Structure 1
Amino acid sequence: MTTTAPVIDIREVSRTYGEGPPALHDVTLSVRTGEALAVVGPSGSGKSTLLNLIAGLDRPSAGSVTVDGVRVDGLSETASARYRRARIGMVFQFFNLLDDLTVGDNVLLPAQLAKAPRAEARRRAADLLERLGIGRHTHAYPGRLSGGERQRVAVARALMNRPALLLADEPTGALDTAAGADVRELLTGLNADGQTIVLVTHDLGLAASCATRTVELVDGRIVRDTEHTAVVGR
């Protein structure tokens, strides 16, 4: 269920690098709490740039980026890191798990960085792993898991600090068809439970099955913004 409160408010944002054409040009975008937004478009269209601006990993050349009430574009590096820990969960194409830590310790890492109480964090990690169907792997190392299982661990880690926003960058890009379908089902379920998601993908099937809304970027501009009346599998 969506509300009218925007969790993302992007106003007239442009991003240029050197003398080349802008990666993003005059983009205005609002995302409501509870939406699952898919950002699609060809390579070089500005999808990753948009995600990086929302995450506070990059700054716009012009315009403003506000997420969960925070003006992200004006944060210092230290404040930006705190913002990501508190408000953003990130899932990547290649998982970015630490191979020398167990599954449980990978999931605990964001809570440790945020200095959360240890007992509470361990309960939260155990609950997430069970909820995502991988509790039996708590003491295993990521290298012993399948691609789909590792992506579930990455999602659990991203949700550890109860972020307002989950960002997913090509989350099925490194997975086979069966594992990709598993992640699609997982993301759909998370959004049905109220998690706001922004998903960058080349996979139009993933966008169609997971998203409540799709934005298409071409040459750094929004050329299409479509709300879906029904999502497959819901």
Structure 2
Amino acid sequence: MSPVIELAAVARQYDLDGTPVLGPLTLTVAPGTALAVTGPSGSGKSTLLNLIAGLDRPSSGSITVAGERLDRLGEAALARYRRDRIGMVFQFFHLLDDLTVQDNVLLPAQLTGRPAAAARARAAELLELLGIARHRHAYPGRLSGGERQRVAVARALINRPALLLADEPTGALDSAAGADVRDLLVDLHRAGQTVVLVTHDAGLADACADRRIHLVDGQVATDSGDPATSAAAVTR
């Protein structure tokens, strides 16, 4: 089975005369993997996520996600890729306050032109699965932080993406709501969803991921999927 993510000698450099903020980095992620990306601030975590999301372009190297060669796509094609192939969950939810929960979840499906009845059935399925069906006609401002993050996850999953990207998904939540989102990510992974999770929270990474890479100065310092780097970390 082909990897969901393939990065080959990818580097991102903003200053032409400076050190790359990321890479060169080679990485493959198999379908069904939950990968946690950790590291200190400035280590390249967000840059890596933005490259995989097609929100940024590599200075060199190639990026293939779900069969799409991102570094060769124009802006319109990248927008379609983000719409059709991936789901994204952010720290601060980015829900539309003037839309109901159901309408927030339906929005990506409407943008892809999915039949309305099928989209509504998928939204109902997700809201039930995530335990927020009773809030489908409520507005986001009336929900708790944990409930809003569940809405954001439902919105990210409505088009059945090959890949779910989560950027500090518990960073704006209290401990109880954070635990709810952690359990949700665990359940999604168990159901076979491929996930890339960027987090400063080692506990979240340990609970949700079956593979973990730790970035330092734009390089992979350790990779639990690579015995060589894992052994090197133990001997330090």
Q: Give the TM-score range, shorter chain.
A: over 0.9
For residues 73 and 59 of structure 1, the distance between their equivalents in structure 2, rounded to whole angstroms, comes to 6
Provide TM-score, normalisation by structure 1.
0.95
What is aligned with 2:196?
Answer: 198
Correspondence for 2:109 among 108, 111, 114: 111
Q: What's the CA shift string for 1:93-122, capped at 9, x where partnerless? A: 000000010000000000000010011101
User: How much identity, in percent, do the aligned residues show?
Assistant: 71
Aligned pair 1:160/2:158, yes or no? yes
Aligned pair 1:10/2:15, yes or no? no
Match for 1:154: what amino acid? Answer: A
Matches within 5 A, 1:69-218: 69-218=67-216
Match for 1:139: what amino acid? Answer: H
Instruction: Give 1:227 deviation, angstroms.
Output: 3.9
What is aligned with 1:232?
Answer: none
Q: Cα RMSD between the aligned structures?
A: 1.0
Match for 1:12: what amino acid? Answer: A
Q: What's the CA shift string for 1:56-82, capped at 9, x where partnerless? A: 000000000000111011111100010
For residues 199 and 60 of structure 1, the distance between their equivalents in structure 2, rounded to whole angstroms, comes to 20
Count of residues in Structure 1 that have an aligned counterpart in Structure 2: 225
The runs of at least 4 consecutive aligned structure 1 residues that moved more than 6 Å come to none
Instruction: Give 1:23 deviation, angstroms.
Output: 1.1
For residues 142 and 27 of structure 1, the distance between their equivalents in structure 2, rounded to whole angstroms, comes to 39
Q: What's the CA shift string for 1:8-55, capped at 9, x where partnerless? A: 000000000124431112100000000000000000000000000000
Conserved 8 A contact 1:64-1:73: yes
Correspondence for 1:67 among 47, 65, 68: 65
Match for 1:40: what amino acid? Answer: T
Match for 1:72: what amino acid? Answer: L
For residues 150 and 84 of structure 1, the distance between their equivalents in structure 2, rounded to whole angstroms, comes to 21
Match for 1:35: what amino acid? Answer: T
For residues 71 and 189 of structure 2, the distance between their equivalents in structure 1, rounded to whole angstroms, comes to 26
**SS in structure 2 at match of 1:224:** strand
Match for 2:91: what amino acid? Answer: Q
For residues 123 and 24 of structure 1, the distance between their equivalents in structure 2, rounded to whole angstroms, comes to 41
Instruction: Give 1:5 deviation, angstroms.
Output: 2.8
Q: What's the CA shift string for 1:173-194, capped at 9, x where partnerless? A: 0000011010000000000000
For residues 36 and 133 of structure 1, the distance between their equivalents in structure 2, rounded to whole angstroms, comes to 22
For residues 97 and 56 of structure 2, the distance between their equivalents in structure 1, rounded to whole angstroms, comes to 27
Match for 2:54: what amino acid? Answer: G
Q: What's the CA shift string for 1:179-219, capped at 9, x where partnerless? A: 10100000000000000000000000000000000000000
For residues 223 and 33 of structure 1, the distance between their equivalents in structure 2, rounded to whole angstroms, comes to 23
Matches within 5 A, 1:12-51: 12-18=9-15, 19-51=17-49
For residues 83 and 216 of structure 1, the distance between their equivalents in structure 2, rounded to whole angstroms, comes to 27
